[in-house]
């Protein structure tokens, strides 16, 4: 019997499965990217809205705003830190320390604290007294810390360029020396308060920490406004 001959043909590999896979991965990546962008916009919007609901006259950075001047003046009176020394020098590192300490405290805050009811601080013009939710306050404080750092960095840059700053209102003089002093005073208070808050969070003392959450928010909001006041026109 004769031998049977078989010819084996190897089927040519098509590139279609790879193309489909590539298109699918690209589509998935685009969806994830758009979702991430949408989430970022949503978070920024929530932060802005939360701050608007908490802080008096939010968004108004006019140096001649009497509401913000009165708020800042009453805040300085309340913390009894109006005295300034000529050799006092404001350091942005102190404000960065406030942010780091505050964020460190938040990482230790028990879940049971969130949405806790807060009582407003009496004798203040810087907050809207109808706000009671801790989570909204935390979101707003984080946003105001970023705003304060941004405004202060602009002020420091202008100072380093020997541009004299002007300020308006009864509680401010017209020199960058006073601007630095006020920033130093309020930042020093915020730094001390943030450290006290961190201690209370570690102890689990919510009742005592509630007031400090408010005080830090007000302090960084005032710092933001002072940073704007100190900028040259």
- In the structure, what pLDDT confidence band is assigned to residue 58 with cuts at 50, 70 and 90? very low
Range of the domain at 106: 34-230
State mean pLDDT over 157-175: 50
Q: Given CA atoms 114, 43, 140, 146 in this order, what sign does their dihedral have?
A: positive
Q: Which residues contact 36 (CB under 8 A, 6 or more apart)?
A: none
Note whether residue 189 is domain-resident: yes
Q: Does any domain span residue 181?
A: yes
Lowest mean pLDDT: which of 150-154, 178-182, 184-188? 178-182
Residue 193 buriedness (CB in 10 A; 0-12 / 13-18 / 19+): buried
- Residue that has been written with the tokens 């005295």 in this structure: 83
Residue 19 lies in a domain: no
> Is 8 buried (19+), middle (13-18) or exposed (0-12) by CB count in 10 A?
exposed
Alpha helices of the chain — where are they, by DSSP H? 16-54, 66-79, 92-106, 134-160, 176-203, 206-230
Structural domain contains residue 80: yes
Most confident of 117-126, 170-179, 216-225: 216-225
Average pLDDT, the chain: 70
On whether residue 29 sits in a domain, the answer given is: no
- Residue 161 is predicted with a pLDDT of 61
* Residue 16 within any structural domain of the chain: no
Mean pLDDT computed over 50-61: 50
Domain count across the chain:
1
On whether residue 13 sits in a domain, the answer given is no
SS3 183: helix
Tell me, yes or no, if the pTM score tops 0.75: no
CA atoms within 13 A on the CB side of 16: 2
Most confident of 41-50, 100-109, 113-122, 170-179: 100-109
- The predicted pLDDT at position 140 comes to 82
Residue 5 burial (10 A CB sphere; 0-12, 13-18, 19+):
exposed
Local confidence band at 17 (pLDDT 50, 70, 90 cut-offs): low
Q: Classify residue 1: in a domain, yes or no.
A: no
């Amino acid at each position: 019997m004769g031998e049977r001959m078989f010819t084996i043909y190897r089927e040519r590999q098509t590139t279609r499965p790879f193309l489909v896979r590539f298109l699918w991965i690209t589509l998935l990546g685009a969806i994830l990217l758009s979702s991430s962008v949408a989430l970022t916009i949503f978070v920024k919007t929530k932060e802005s809205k939360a701050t608007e609901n908490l802080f008096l006259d939010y968004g108004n950075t006019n140096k001649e705003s009497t509401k913000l001047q009165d708020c800042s003046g009453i805040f300085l009176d309340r913390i009894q830190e109006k005295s300034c020394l000529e050799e006092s020098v404001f350091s942005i590192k102190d404000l960065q320390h406030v942010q780091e300490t505050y964020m460190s405290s938040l990482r230790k805050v028990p879940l049971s604290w969130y949405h806790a009811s807060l009582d407003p601080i009496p004798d203040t013009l810087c907050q809207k007294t109808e706000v009671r939710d801790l989570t909204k306050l935390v979101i707003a404080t984080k946003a105001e810390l970023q705003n304060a750092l941004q405004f202060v960095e602009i002020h420091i840059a202008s100072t380093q360029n020997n541009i004299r700053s002007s300020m308006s209102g009864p509680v401010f003089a017209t020199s960058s020396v006073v601007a630095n002093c006020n920033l130093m005073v309020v930042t020093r208070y915020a730094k001390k308060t943030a450290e006290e808050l961190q201690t209370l969070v570690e102890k689990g003392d919510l009742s005592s920490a509630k007031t400090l959450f408010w005080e830090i928010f007000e302090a960084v909001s005032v710092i933001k406004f002072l940073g704007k006041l100190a900028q040259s026109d």
